[in-house]
């Protein structure tokens, strides 16, 4: 008997997961595929839907026939305080299949109508036929959907949060650069 099979519970293809990426926001993600790899890794593809609630919800509250996979804008930093749009990419990633306290399965659906494209376990960036490898399902799963929702329903506060995060990031990069310069001058 495989001891791992009795010690853990695993996500399965077609699982619908309720997420809570931020306090006051609930999202919905889908396990698109699940498999056990030859090397023993138990992996799955999870897709983030654009569905966001500002209250807790149940599976019955979802219109499953309307579910889609969220596409997110990917930006890159090109210079201090300057970002450029790179591409729009489906929010899909490779995760471990082990259920954690962060994974709340609330139902099951046929995910083939949501994302009918083949998914092979190839690591990449979403534009090169591979997908990001994230590891264990995090508590923050679904943040992209909340950001997209806030861009429509909470524009001013989101813009302020983004500006504050970018300023903090620039400050950190400046600190690291000056620290690095100091080491070279010693």
Number of folded domains that form the chain: 1
Please give the Cα distance from 163 to 148 (Å, whole number).
Answer: 16
- Residue at 163 is within a domain: no
Q: Tell me if residue 184 falls in helix, strand or coil.
A: helix
For residue 16, give its domain range. Answer: 3-153
Q: Supply the pLDDT for residue 137.
A: 95
The list of the chain residues with pLDDT below 50 reads 1, 3-5
- Residue at 124 is within a domain: yes
What are the distances in angstroms from CA 100 to CA 52, 103, 125, 158, 160?
21, 5, 25, 29, 33
Q: Supply the pLDDT for residue 75.
A: 83
Q: Supply the pLDDT for residue 186.
A: 54
- For residue 146, give the nearest of 134, 135, 162, 123 by alpha carbon: 162
């Amino acid at each position: 008997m495989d001891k791992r099979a009795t010690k853990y519970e695993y996500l399965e293809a077609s699982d619908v997961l309720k997420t809570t990426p931020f306090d006051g926001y609930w999202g919905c993600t889908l396990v698109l595929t699940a498999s056990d790899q030859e090397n023993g890794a138990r992996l799955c593809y999870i897709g983030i839907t654009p569905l966001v609630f500002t209250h807790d919800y149940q599976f019955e509250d979802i219109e499953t026939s309307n579910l889609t996979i969220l596409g997110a804008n990917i930006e890159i930093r090109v210079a201090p305080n300057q970002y450029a749009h790179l591409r729009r990419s489906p929010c899909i990633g490779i995760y471990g299949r082990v259920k954690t306290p962060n994974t709340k399965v609330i139902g099951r659906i046929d995910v083939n109508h949501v994302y009918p494209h083949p998914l092979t376990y190839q690591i990449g960036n979403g534009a090169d036929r591979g997908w990001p490898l994230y590891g264990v399902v995090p508590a923050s799963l679904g943040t992209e959907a909340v950001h997209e929702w806030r861009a429509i329903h909470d524009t001013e506060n989101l813009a302020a949060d983004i500006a504050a995060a970018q300023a903090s990031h620039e400050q950190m990069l400046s600190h690291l650069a000056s620290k690095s310069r100091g080491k070279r001058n010693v």
